[in-house]
Chains A and B, each alone.
Chain A
Amino acid sequence: METAAAFYTSGMTELLTFGDLLSRHEREIFVYALRLTGDRDDADDIYQETFLAAFKGWPPPRRGQERAWLYRIATNKVIDRARRAKRLVRMDDLRLAAPERDGVSLADLGAAVKVLPEGQRAAFVLRKVQGLDYADVARALECSEEAARSRVAEAMKKVREAMK
């Protein structure tokens, strides 16, 4: 528990437990997984694998960036799975995670799931649907902010084309 001790004393006094992280972020990670995969069973698996990995990999690498850390784990799980199998988008399942933000419709999301490769899809959903700022999108995708911006822009272009 030495690394954990360092984590807990790294500037912030409040103790953070895995349970705190779970209650704060489980819903958004589950919905994110659903939005990326369009399949409730896949989302369920990704949710579980993400939080199991976080539990096993405790503590989070940086205090204050736990959310981006969870998104990074979840995104990598989605990409790993996509390499293994080709999916069908189930609109009924996607509807469970209908975007709650202005400017992105369920149809946009459906198009994103259908036409975008995993990396771009993750960038699109993180920024436009989950509402992460570019710093956190970059952390989740393990790339620079600039790269994150261009991935999102590229993804937006493709989604708009697909919607024509």
Chain B
Amino acid sequence: MIGDGKGGAAATTEVLMTDARERLLVRARRDGLETVGYRVVDSPLGPLWIAVGPKGVLTIHYGAEPSQGELARIVRTYGPGVLPDPRRADPVARELDQYFNGRRRAFDVAFDLAGLTDFQRRILAATARVPFGDVSTYAKVAARAGSEKASRAAGQALGANPIPIVVPCHRILASDGTMGGYSGGLDAKRVLLRLERGSVPKATQYR
């Protein structure tokens, strides 16, 4: 009796729900409630969890779910309104896709380093200036950020880079030319360097 057409009813409820949710988000924004939209995209390096806030890309995380630390930074900065919102993450998803397909060398999307320390921000800003296909070292990035002797701290700041790929910390190597570290794993770092340079730099080459 009720069984008949139940599938149809469920489908209609889904449609009503989707509608209601879209209006909810519009009303939240109108009421001044800040939201951060996220989505998961596929990439040659596996799934990436991407979050976009009111000022730009906040997080690109290697994996389908954010780390608690990254989520905490977002919530500290913009409150609890972290919502699935594929459309908002579309521009950066598109640019990443172009990058991985060899059709993009620089990212145009805005990114947001809110919630990081001043030192981290300076290191990441210096890193963002290393162009496609180039590499630099932790020591040089530290020097450019105004802290010549802080190459170890620079390494840590880059290890905590919330926006890898777009802020290209994969282009930063150890001073002896070895790979150093990478939040997505050293294999991912090699893939990115190979994508940009055709090969992975040999140790000691960039002393």
Contact of B54 with A by CB under 8 A: no
Does A143 make an interface contact (CB < 8 A)?
Answer: no
Contact A15 B71 (CB under 8 A): yes
A-B contact pairs, 8 of them (CB 8 A): A17-B75, A18-B79, A19-B84, A22-B21, A52-B24, A58-B79, A58-B80, A96-B12
Chain B positions near chain A (C-beta within 8 angstroms) = 1-2, 5-6, 9, 12-13, 16-17, 19-21, 23-24, 27-28, 31, 33, 38, 68, 71-72, 75-76, 79-84
Measured in the bound complex, the distance between the Cα atoms of B28 and A56 in whole Å is 9
Q: Are A30 and B16 in contact (CB under 8 A)?
A: yes
Nearest opposing residue in chain A for B76, CB measure? A1
A134 at the B interface (CB under 8 A): no
Which of A40-48, A75-83, A118-126 makes up part of the contact surface? A40-48
Q: How far is the CA of A13 from the CA of B72 in the complex (A)?
A: 11
Contact of B81 with A55 in the complex, beta carbons under 8 Å: yes
Residue of A nearest to B81 (CB): A18
Q: Which residue of A lies closest to B67 (CB)?
A: A15
With an 8 A cutoff between CB atoms, is A38 at the interface? no
Say yes or no for A23: interface residue by CB 8 A criterion.
yes
A106:B2 contact, CB within 8 angstroms: yes
Interface contact A18-B83, CB-CB below 8 Å: yes
Residue from A1, A16, A19, A95 within 8 A of B9 (CB atoms): A95
Size of A's binding interface in residues, CB under 8 A: 36
Point out the residue from B17, B33, B80, B83 that lies within 8 Å of A27, measured CB to CB: B17
B195 → A minimal CB distance (Å): 32
Q: Which single residue of chain B is at the shortest CB-CB distance from A54?
A: B80
List which A1-34 residues lie within 8 A (CB) of chain B: 1, 4, 8, 13-20, 22-23, 26-27, 30-31, 34
Known A26-B21, A58-B79; further 4 A-B contacts with Cβ < 8 A? A1-B79, A4-B80, A17-B81, A44-B23
Q: Smallest distance from the beta carbon of B10 to chain A beta carbons, Å? A: 8
Q: Given the known inter-chain contacts A1-B76, A13-B68, please indicate yes or no for A55 contacting B13, CB distance below 8 A.
A: no
Cβ contacts under 8 Å, B20 to chain A: 30, 44, 47-48
Contact A59 B80, beta carbon cutoff 8 Å: yes
| B17 surroundings in chain A (CB, below 8 A) | 26-27, 30, 47
Given known contacts A48-B27, A98-B6, A17 and B82 CB-to-CB distance under 8 angstroms: yes
A31's closest neighbor in chain B, by CB?
B13
CB distance from B89 to the nearest CB of A (A): 13
Residues of B with C-beta under 8 A to A48: 20, 23-24, 27
Q: Which residues of B contact A44 (CB under 8 A)?
A: 16, 19-20, 23
- Are A30 and B13 interface neighbours, CB within 8 A? yes
Ordered nearest first, which 9 A-B pairs have the shortest CB separation? A19-B83, A17-B82, A18-B80, A19-B82, A98-B2, A17-B80, A44-B20, A48-B24, A96-B9
Task: State the CA gap A23–B31 with chains docked (Å).
Answer: 21
A51 beta carbon closer than 8 Å to chain B: yes
Q: Judge whether A52 and B83 touch: CB under 8 Å.
A: no
